[in-house]
Amino acid sequence: MRNKFFKNVLRRGLVGCVAFLFVLFTASLSWASSIIYNIQGFTFNELTATVEMEYISGDTLEFLVTNTSVGTSFITGFAFNVPDDVIGILGFTAFDENNNNVEGGPPKWSDYFPEATKNKIGVNTPGPFGSFDLAAITGNTFGGGAIAWGIGIPANNNTYTFTFEFTGTDLGLLETSDFDILSHSANNNDDPQVLAVRFQGFNPNDESDIGITTVVPIPSAILLLGSGLLSLVGIRKKFIGRG
């Protein structure tokens, strides 16, 4: 009888915890939840990266870009899209994983936002991926780039942090998911993408490639919820097993 009582209390407690986690999960989706993208080279499968995107305030979008490739390679640019509420760039920063400032225009990192052609031509990338609204680049164009300032593989400084501070209308109402937008397709042969990543200096022949998303991105809040639920299941089994 006593064991049954404690099992009922535990069961109700677990239900309450699950409900609480769900509330936190739904709230986190609408408040500064990041989205993580897995990137793979269109031509060379060895070229890979992860890009974490998060709208961290009322006007700032942050990217964490990591080069996870097999073999020597450098990320020298990435392009993405913005909602129509964004009309300009107020500020841009770029730091390597040692917190060294690496922005300042070619050959260092700089933002590239061709406002006059936004939603028309925009940022052109090699390959059938359409055009993008905005990019971070180490050259004069997305197709160029400076390997010396690129994001290397893990043996080097391979994770860089980028922030874009926007000007526009109703920016405080935007969420991270509002930037999960496909590129602009010029014809039916295009393969629109949310992100395009420029790889250069790939061994052995100093090849270059464009990396695109490989799977449907997962909001980080879902990963948090999943780990919480698994922990609760483990606790429930532990206590029931004792009973």
Query: Which range (6-15, 32-41, 162-171, 174-183) has the least confidence?
Result: 6-15
* 227 assigned to some structural domain: no
Q: Are the beta carbons of 59 and 173 closer than 8 angstroms? A: no
* 214 assigned to some structural domain: yes
* 8 assigned to some structural domain: no
* 18 assigned to some structural domain: no
pLDDT in tens, 175-228: 999 999 999 876 766 789 999 999 999 988 899 999 999 865 555 544 444 444
Q: Containing domain of residue 115, as a range? A: 34-219
Q: Looking at this protein, which amino acid is placed at residue 50?
A: T
* 6 assigned to some structural domain: no
| Per-residue model confidence (pLDDT) at position 163 | 98
Q: What is the DSSP string of 131-164?
A: EESEEEESSSSTT---GGGSB--TTS--EEEEEE
* 107 assigned to some structural domain: yes
Q: How many domains does the chain have?
A: 1
Mean pLDDT computed over 109-125: 74
* 62 assigned to some structural domain: yes
Helix, strand, coil distribution of the chain in percent, nearest 5: 25, 35, 40
Which residue from 161, 168, 194 is spatially nearest to 92, judged by alpha carbons? 161
* 212 assigned to some structural domain: yes
- What is the percentage of the chain residues whose pLDDT exceeds 70? 69
pLDDT in tens, 4-19: 544 553 455 444 443 4
For the domain that residue 72 is a member of, what is the CATH number?
2.60.40
